[in-house]
Amino acid sequence: GENVEQHPSTLSVQEGDSAVIKCTYSDSASNYFPWYKQELGKRPQLIIDIRSNVGEKKDQRIAVTLNKTAKHFSLHITETQPEDSAVYFCAASPGNQFYFGTGTSLTVIP
């Protein structure tokens, strides 16, 4: 089955700096790559996603890049704000199920 690895497990940045989270996957059949933000005690919320026919997607301060050849994808958050502090999960989907990474705890220091 699919195996998703996510790095780093924790990340601290100063407010206004950029944050980058990287994920790799193993199943070449995966064609959908969502990113979720989960605040403490809350449900995961989709923040951005990318499909396999696209290399990059941007939504305001958030962007995702996908390299299908290398089987890796990354989340980029620019101009970070304290409210960006949360746990972020990447996922890969080869069809009817999502395989999640182990999460990155992002702390934005004011």
Lookup: tokens for 37: 């933000």
Residue 14 tokens, joined: 């100063």
Considering the rule CB under 8 A, would residue 45 count as an interface residue with other proteins? yes
User: Within positions 51 to 90, which residues make up the interface with other proteins, using CB under 8 A?
Assistant: 51-52, 89
Binding of residue 18 to other proteins (CB under 8 A): no
Does 93 participate in binding other proteins (rule CB under 8 A)?
yes
Which stretch, 13-21, 44-52, 55-63, 68-76, contacts other proteins (CB under 8 A)? 44-52
Residues facing 11 on adjacent strands? 106
CB of 21 to other proteins, least distance (A): 13
Question: What's the min distance (Å) between Cβ of 16 and other proteins?
Answer: 28
CB contact at 8 A, 23 and 90: yes
Q: How far apart are CA 2 and CA 107, in angstroms?
A: 29
Does residue 10 interact with other proteins by CB under 8 A?
A: no
- CA–CA dist 91, 23 (Å, integer): 8
Query: How do the residues of the chain divide into helix, strand and coil, expressed in percent and rounded to 5?
Result: 5, 55, 45
Residues in touch with other proteins (CB under 8 A):
1, 4, 6, 31-32, 34, 36, 42-46, 49, 51-52, 89, 91, 93, 95-103
